[in-house]
Amino acid sequence: MKNYEDLAKKIIKEIGGEENIQSLTHCITRLRFKLKDESKANDEVLKNTAGIVTVMRSGGQYQVVIGNQVPEVYAQVMKLTQLEEKGQSEVQEKKKGKILDNALDVVSGIFQPILGIMAACGMVKGLNALFVAMGLYSSQCGAYLIFNGIGDGLFTFLPLFLGYTSAKKFGLKPMVGLVAGAIMCYPGLQASSLSAEMKPLYSVFTGTSFESKIYMDFFGIPIIAMNYMSTVIPIIFVVYFASKCEKFFNKFVPDLVKFFFVPMLTLLVALPVGFMLIGPVTIFGSTIISETVLAIRNISPLLAGAIVGFTWQILVIFGMHWGFIPVYINNMMTFGFDNVMMPFFACTFATSGVVLAIFYKTKNKQLKELALPNFISGIFGVTEPAIYGITLPLKKPFIISCIVGGLVGGYYGHFNFRKFMVGGMGIFEFPAMIAPDGSMGNLIVAVTGAVMALVLGFLFTFITFKDKEEEKKEEKDLEKPEIKNPEASFIKKEIIKSPFNGKVIPLKDAKDEAFASGALGRGVVIVPEDNTLYSPVDGVIATLFPTLHAIGIVTDEDTELLIHVGINTVQLDGKHFKAEIKEGDRISVGQPLVTFDREAIKKEGYSMETPVLVTSDPDDYFDLIETDAQEVKQGETLLSVLYLEKEGK
C-alpha cells in the first residue's frame, strides 16, 4: 500500500502549516480546507506536486483535488495534525439500510478506538486469575490487587471511554462526552451506593413485576436507580441525546458565552433525562426477560437454557442482563446454587472458538493480531474485547456465537447445570461447579458443554468465514454475466446509459476545473431536467458518499464509474438528497439510486452540472466514446467503453 505521509506533510506545509487550518473535511475526490488566511497557500507549488490533480478556491474553501486516494491522504493529514474529525451523526442518520445493521455499525464503530487496549486489559485480567490458580501468589497480595486494577479499570469505568468515542461518532464535543461518562460512573448515583446509604422514600409500581424502591427524585420525578459502571448502551444513548442538545443550544446561545454555556446546558438537560428514562427502560426490560425465562423454565429447562445462551451477549450489549442478577443472587442464597442464569457460560467458550477460527482463517494482519489475545482473554472469561472488536463488527461471527451459545445453553438447561459458589471467570469457574457433596457429575456437564461450545464455534466459523475482500470477489464472480461468442470480435463494448433526462455538455466545458481537466476521469456532464438519478448500468454500489451527492459504481464488466450530482454540493451535507440504495447494493439499469430537489439545490446557489465519469485506469480499456447528442433521455446511450478482448477467450 502506498504511503501518503510525505504528500500529507507537503500539503500541510504549502497551505500555511497546521496553524493556518481552521477545519478540514473531504468529499469523494478532494480535501476541503477552511483556512484562516488563504493568501498563505502556495497554489503553484501544490499544483506541481505529484499526487495532486489541482487546487481550487471555491465556496469559502481551499480545495486540494487528489482523486480516488483522497481518504488515505485525509487520514494522514488528520494523523499529522491536532484537528478533530467531524462527527458522523449526520452520516449515520442519512444512511439507509436495516436498523439492526446500522445499530451494530454504530456500536462497533464506537469501540474501534479502544479495541487494542481492551484486548490488553482482558489478557491482564485472565493472566492474573491464572497465576493465582497456579499458586504463584494469593488473591490478597498487593501484586494481585494492582494487576486486577490494571485489568479491570477500563471495564469498570467503560462509560468514560465510550462517552468520549461516542461523542466523536455523534458530533458532540469529545470532552463533553467524557464528562457524561464520568457522571454516569459517579459513585453516589449508583444503585448499590444509594441502597446502602439511604432509606427508600417510597416504592413505585407496587404489586407488579416492576416494583422499584425510590431513593431520590428530580424535582418530584422519581429516579429508578441502577448501576451504570461497566455498561455500554446507556452512555451511548445519553451522548446521542446530548449531541442533539448541543446543536440546539448552539443555535441561540450568544458566541460570547458559548464556550461554557453550551456544555453546561447540554449536561443539565441530557444527564437528568438519561437517569430518568434510560435506567427504568433497562431495568424493566431486564425484568420482563428474566421473568419470561423463569416461566419457560417451569415448562422446559432445555428451552429456557437455549434462550439464555442465545440472547446473553445481546442482553449484555444493551445492559439488560441485570435482570438476571437478583435471580442469580436469590438462588445462591436460597438454594445454594443457580441454574437459571448459568447457561450463559456457553457463550464464553462459543465466542472464544469463533475468534480462534478467525485467527486461523483471516489474511487480514490487523484482524489476526487482535484475534489471538482476544481468544486468550475469552477463555479466561473476558469476552468484551472479542465481541466489540471482532465478532460484532463482522456480524456473521457474532450470529454464530449466539447460535452456538443457544445450542449449548439448551444442553446446560436439559442437564440442570448449576454453579454452587460465587466467583471465578471462564475456566476458573470450574471449581465452583463441583457439587458440595464432592460428586463430579455437574462438573462433567460444565466441561463437556464448554468443549462443545468451543469446538462448534470454531468449526462453524472455520467453514463459513471469509475476509470481506474475498467475499466481495466471490460475489462479483457470481454476478458477472458470461460473455457469449467471445471469438466473434476482438473488441468488447460496454454501454453506459444516461442516468436522467438532460442537456449534455462536453467535459472540458464543466464549471469545475478539476473535472474539466479530465484528471478525475473521462466522460461528459449532464444538466438534469428531473429529480431522480437512475442507474446507468448493471453493477454494484462501490461508494455512496455520506452526503449522498456522489456515487461510485463498479459495473459487471469491472468498469468504474463516478456520478457527481451538482458542483460543490458536498457542502449541502446531504440536504435535499435522499438515497434509495446503500453501499454494497446490487443494482440494475434503470433502478432509482438517489432522489434530489433540483430547484432547492439551485436556490442554495449550486450548479446542477453532473459529471458522469469513467474513473477506471485508462490503460484498462481501449477507448471511450461519448454521445454526440446535445440532449439525452434517461436510458439512452451516453458513453461506450471499448475493451480489447483476447482471441478465443
- Read off the C-alpha cell for 171: 458530533
Confidence band of 302 (pLDDT split at 50, 70, 90): very high
Q: Given a cut of 80, is residue 331 above it in pLDDT?
A: no
Question: Helix, strand or coil for residue 254?
Answer: coil
Residue with the bigger pLDDT between 245 and 476: it is 245
Find the domain containing 383 and state its range: 99-126+300-465
Is residue 333 located within the same domain as residue 422? yes
For 574-616, what is each residue's pLDDT tens digit?
Answer: 899 999 998 888 999 999 999 999 999 999 888 999 999 998 8
Say if 460 falls within a structural domain.
yes
| Residue listed under C-alpha cell 501544490 | 46
Is residue 113 located within the same domain as residue 56? no
User: Is position 27 annotated as part of the catalytic site?
Assistant: yes
Among 259-273, 355-369, 437-451, which is the least confidently predicted range?
A: 355-369
| Residue listed under C-alpha cell 501484586 | 143
Residue 135 is predicted with a pLDDT of 86
Residue with the bigger pLDDT between 41 and 476: it is 41
Residue 101 is predicted with a pLDDT of 56
For 361-400, what is each residue's pLDDT tens digit?
Answer: 988 777 888 888 889 888 888 888 888 878 887 889 999 9
- The rounded distance, in Å, linking the Cα atoms of 193 and 198 is 8
Residue 232 is predicted with a pLDDT of 76
Fill in the amino acid letter for 593: L
Burial class (CB in 10 A: 0-12, 13-18, 19+), 86: middle
Say if 498 falls within a structural domain.
yes
Is residue 460 located within the same domain as residue 491? no
Other beta carbons within 10 angstroms of residue 633's beta carbon come to 12
| In contact, 36 and 559? CB cutoff 8 Å | no
- The rounded distance, in Å, linking the Cα atoms of 560 and 100 is 30
Residue 348 is predicted with a pLDDT of 93
Residue with the bigger pLDDT between 97 and 579: it is 579
- Where does a domain end: 52, 83, 114? 83
User: Is position 564 annotated as part of the catalytic site?
Assistant: yes
Residue 31 is predicted with a pLDDT of 87
Confidence band of 499 (pLDDT split at 50, 70, 90): very high
Say if 324 falls within a structural domain.
yes
Residue 484 is predicted with a pLDDT of 42
Say if 50 falls within a structural domain.
yes
Arithmetic mean of pLDDT, 88-93: 37
Mean pLDDT across the chain, nearest whole number? Answer: 84
Residue 332 is predicted with a pLDDT of 75
Of the chain, the end-to-end C-alpha distance in Å amounts to 31
From the list 26, 321, 549, 564, the catalytic residue is 564
Helix (H) or strand (E) holding 465: none
| In contact, 492 and 643? CB cutoff 8 Å | yes
Residue 437 is predicted with a pLDDT of 83
How many structural domains is the chain composed of?
3
| Residue listed under C-alpha cell 506536486 | 49
- The rounded distance, in Å, linking the Cα atoms of 527 and 610 is 6
Nearest residue to 70 (alpha-carbon basis) of 545, 525, 547: 545
Q: Given a cut of 80, is residue 491 above it in pLDDT?
A: no
Say if 357 falls within a structural domain.
yes
Residue 354 is predicted with a pLDDT of 95
Q: Given a cut of 80, is residue 619 above it in pLDDT?
A: no
Residue 534 is predicted with a pLDDT of 94
- Read off the C-alpha cell for 311: 440472547
Q: Given a cut of 80, is residue 189 above it in pLDDT?
A: yes
- The rounded distance, in Å, linking the Cα atoms of 118 and 140 is 25
- Read off the C-alpha cell for 114: 479502544
Percent of the chain clearing pLDDT 90 (strictly above): 36
Residue 2 is predicted with a pLDDT of 60
Q: Which stretch, 39-43, 296-300, 378-382, 453-457, has highest mean pLDDT?
A: 453-457
Q: Given a cut of 50, is residue 508 above it in pLDDT?
A: yes
Nearest residue to 167 (alpha-carbon basis) of 268, 74, 89, 114: 89
Nearest residue to 533 (alpha-carbon basis) of 570, 501, 503: 501
Q: What is the CATH number of the domain that holds 585?
A: 2.70.70.10
Among 277-281, 285-289, 630-634, which is the least confidently predicted range?
A: 285-289
- The rounded distance, in Å, linking the Cα atoms of 95 and 273 is 27
Confidence band of 323 (pLDDT split at 50, 70, 90): low
Question: Helix, strand or coil for residue 457?
Answer: helix
Alpha-carbon distance values, 393 to 250, 265, 367 (Å): 33, 34, 11
Is residue 407 located within the same domain as residue 440? yes
For 101-121, what is each residue's pLDDT tens digit?
Answer: 566 556 666 776 786 787 778
From the list 26, 27, 347, 402, the catalytic residue is 27
| Residue listed under C-alpha cell 487528489 | 66
- The rounded distance, in Å, linking the Cα atoms of 434 and 440 is 6
Is residue 442 located within the same domain as residue 359? yes
- The rounded distance, in Å, linking the Cα atoms of 598 and 578 is 12
Say if 71 falls within a structural domain.
yes
- The rounded distance, in Å, linking the Cα atoms of 601 and 85 is 26
Is residue 423 located within the same domain as residue 539? no
Confidence band of 526 (pLDDT split at 50, 70, 90): very high
Q: What is the 3-state secondary structure (H, E, C) of 547-585?
A: CCCEEEEEECCCCEEEEECCCCHHHHCCCCEEECCCCCC
Is residue 543 located within the same domain as residue 616? yes
- The rounded distance, in Å, linking the Cα atoms of 575 and 529 is 19
| Planar angle of CA 510, 62, 85, nearest 5 degrees | 115
Say if 10 falls within a structural domain.
yes
- Where does a domain end: 30, 52, 83? 83
- Read off the C-alpha cell for 403: 447460535
Nearest residue to 321 (alpha-carbon basis) of 389, 387, 397: 387
Is residue 48 located within the same domain as residue 106? no
Q: Given a cut of 60, is residue 252 above it in pLDDT?
A: yes
Q: Given a cut of 80, is residue 624 above it in pLDDT?
A: yes
Q: Given a cut of 50, is residue 3 above it in pLDDT?
A: yes
